[in-house]
């Protein structure tokens, strides 16, 4: 017998993932290269972060350039030429003003569609997904291009080994379309949160209206951030899974923000999810902030580690403090 409540729930409108594209700048920066100018070593970096290389953009290459490349590949992956809106998550926009998203939309030939930036640091991609899903569910758009793109190499203090060894540049994008919750790829729900009382744990002090002459470099209080990241991603993921009625044991792949391999493993442990089910690609690309989740998804799907029909949990934590989670059943798509 068919459960009418179940059928109604499955048929509700949803934003559905239809395409995935990524882009990394060509220059790979190894731990050994950084060790030549910093008081560090390959072993020190790998044991504390899990990172062995990252990619940095060349001078003259901006976040928008990376976003255009990833966006074009996501459109190709989805087999579409246009969208009704563009949402770009980034901490490193091309300019303080105007936003980078309108320029990206123009470069992609998408016409006068609404386009805007989302600033939620490393949680930015999940926030952008939630924003795009809102556009779809309210009827503003049928199809949205969501991009996470960063050029962190331009905001790092080259003498600070605590940040200079962690971050990389890159971009990842997805195409969302209006569909139903029972379709593979449907974003089934969100859990979002923030704590502005701890805004100073991750920050760029200068450049804004509060401290115009302060340091323009990215700063992070690593030990406090570690504890907050594990706690907040764990709590957010648990809240979302309970709302969806997904037992933790039913999650096939945990795709967390790629900040630190110890954080990813700690979150998996907190959720009673085997560490082997936690997707890790930061060893090859570093922490790419808002770009990290789509880059990790593309790597896992391309390597056959993420297969159609699997339950996937996405969770992220970043400056603000801000955090968020979403979940989906992985669709049969080919990343580009």
Catalytic residue list:
122, 257, 287
CB 320 within 8 A of CB 298: no
CB 282 within 8 A of CB 50: yes
Structure tokens given for 228:
């907050």
Residue indicated by tokens 């190499």: 153
Q: Please count the other Cβ atoms lying within 10 Å of the Cβ belonging to residue 222.
A: 15
β-sheet with 311-318: strand ranges across: 190-194, 322-329, 311-318, 253-256
How big is the chain by its Cα radius of gyration, in Å? 19
Residue indicated by tokens 């940095």: 56
CA gap 250, 94 in Å, rounded: 41
CA atoms lying within 13 Å on the CB side of residue 12? 11
Expressed in percent and rounded to 5, the helix, strand and coil fractions of the chain are 40, 25, 40
CB 213 within 8 A of CB 275: no
- Look up residue 312 and give its DSSP letter: E
Q: Any bridge partners for residue 317, and if so which?
A: 323
Question: Alpha-carbon dihedral of residues 173, 179, 180, 182, nearest 10 degrees?
Answer: -50
Nearest to 251 by CA among 315, 192, 183, 333: 315
Nearest to 226 by CA among 288, 166, 299: 166
CA gap 7, 20 in Å, rounded: 29
Nearest to 231 by CA among 196, 200, 195: 195
């Amino acid at each position: 017998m068919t459960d009418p409540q179940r059928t109604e729930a499955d048929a509700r409108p949803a934003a559905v993932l239809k395409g995935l594209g990524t882009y990394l700048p060509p220059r790979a920066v190894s731990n050994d290269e950084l060790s030549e100018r910093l008081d560090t070593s390959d072993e020190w970096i790998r044991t504390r972060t899990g990172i062995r290389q990252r990619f940095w953009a060349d001078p003259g290459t901006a976040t928008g350039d990376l976003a255009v490349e990833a966006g074009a590949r996501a459109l190709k992956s989805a087999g579409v030429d246009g969208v009704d809106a563009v949402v770009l998550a980034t901490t490193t926009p091309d300019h303080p003003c105007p936003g980078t998203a309108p320029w990206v939309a123009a470069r992609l030939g998408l016409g006068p569609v609404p386009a805007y930036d989302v600033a939620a640091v490393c949680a930015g991609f999940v926030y952008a997904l939630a924003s795009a899903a809102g556009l779809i569910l309210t009827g503003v758009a049928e199809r949205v291009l969501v991009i996470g793109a960063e050029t962190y190499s331009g905001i790092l203090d080259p003498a600070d080994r605590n940040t200079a060894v962690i971050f990389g540049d890159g971009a990842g994008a997805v195409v969302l379309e209006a569909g139903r919750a029972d379709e593979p790829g449907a974003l089934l729900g969100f859990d979002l949160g923030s704590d502005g009382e701890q805004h100073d744990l991750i920050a760029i002090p200068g450049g804004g209206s509060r401290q115009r002459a302060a340091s323009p470099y990215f700063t992070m209080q690593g030990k406090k951030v570690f504890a907050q990241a594990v706690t907040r991603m764990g709590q957010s993921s648990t809240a979302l899974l309970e709302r969806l009625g997904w037992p933790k044991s039913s999650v096939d792949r945990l795709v967390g923000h790629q900040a630190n391999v110890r954080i990813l493993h700690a979150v998996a442990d907190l959720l009673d999810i085997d560490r082997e089910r936690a997707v890790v690609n930061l060893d090859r690309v570093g922490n790419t902030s808002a770009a990290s989740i789509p880059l990790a998804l593309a790597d896992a799907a391309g390597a056959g580690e993420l297969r159609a029909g699997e339950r996937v949990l996405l969770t992220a934590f970043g400056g603000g403090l801000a955090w968020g989670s979403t979940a989906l059943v992985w669709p049969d798509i080919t990343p580009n």
